[in-house]
Amino acid sequence: MGTIVTLQSLDDPALDVYARLTEAQIRNRLEPEKGVFIAESPKVIRLALDAGYEPVSFLMEEKHIEGDAKDLLSRCENVPVYTGERALLKELTGYELTRGVLAAMKRKPLPAPEDVLKNARRIAVPDGIVDASNLGAIVRSAAALNIDAVLFTPTCCDPLNRRAVRVSMGTVFLVPWTFLPANGIALLRKRGFITAAMALVDDSLPMDDPRLKECERLAIVLGTEGDGLSKETIMGCDFAVKIPMAHGVDSLNVAAASAVAFWELRR
């Protein structure tokens, strides 16, 4: 079991990661390969451990030490476990702990895009997605609907953002992912992918067009929440694709649209 530290004060610097550092500071602290992220709830933490992520510390209510988190702590000897009453922990974090358990975990070096793409046939390419909830939901849909990998453009928010990890329900640890370089679409085409931009333009194909299903390797490119994909990105893709709408509705939220696209274009 980890080393139990009962909190008497909220001033311990070891607690900064849970409350007093910004997401950017958490991500970049000691350089990205030595940065950390926050996982919430025993289920999500278990998935992270199963995927090989190493915990730095835990923060939890006292009751979970011999309760919901007992199996986690048995896997993590000598890892500090900061604990206290719910009111004290809420004072520290500013919110009720999800399922009463948080873990600060070390990040792992990101794989090269070429390695992630090697055996993939269906991939998602979120482009400029900055809302962590939407990003997490896209990853969850990708994992659930058998997308082989997710490759984010550099303008997306951090997939290991606390909210993104929580909304993904830990599936960010199940589906392979990495970031594309700035010329990502060109790289995908070089690797044999047909690229389909989700976009409401005049020549968009309906999602059920058989030409899309026939693609051996297909990359589904999803645009940012407000403006969608840039004209340059749309022009750089092989197809523009849309989900036919009814009742005068022009589009779906990007997270909902991703689930429809992943289901329809699966192999």
**pTM (two decimals):** 0.90
Answer yes or no: do 217 and 141 share one domain: yes
Answer yes or no: do 127 and 230 share one domain: yes
Identify residue 49 by its one-letter amino acid code: L
pLDDT mean values, one per 10 residues, the chain (267 residues) = 75 77 62 76 95 94 86 91 77 60 92 95 96 97 97 95 94 97 91 94 89 94 86 93 86 91 90
pLDDT at 25: 66
pLDDT at 30: 40
Closest CA to 253 of 123, 160, 129: 129
Helix (H, G, I), strand (E, B), or coil: what is residue 204? coil
**The domain containing residue 87 runs over which residues?**
3-106
State CA 73 to chain mean position distance: 24
Answer yes or no: do 122 and 178 share one domain: yes
**Boundary of a domain, candidates 60, 79, 106:** 106
pLDDT at 21: 67
What are φ and ψ of residue 20, in 5° steps?
-110, 0
Cα–Cα distance, 246 to 167 (Å, whole number): 28
Cα–Cα distance, 14 to 130 (Å, whole number): 29
Let me know: does 224 contact 128? Beta carbons within 8 Å: yes
**Boundary of a domain, candidates 106, 137, 165:** 106
Answer yes or no: do 173 and 192 share one domain: yes
Answer yes or no: do 134 and 244 share one domain: yes
Based on the structure, what is the number of domains in the chain? 2
Answer yes or no: do 60 and 153 share one domain: no
Answer yes or no: do 71 and 15 share one domain: yes
Answer yes or no: do 227 and 243 share one domain: yes
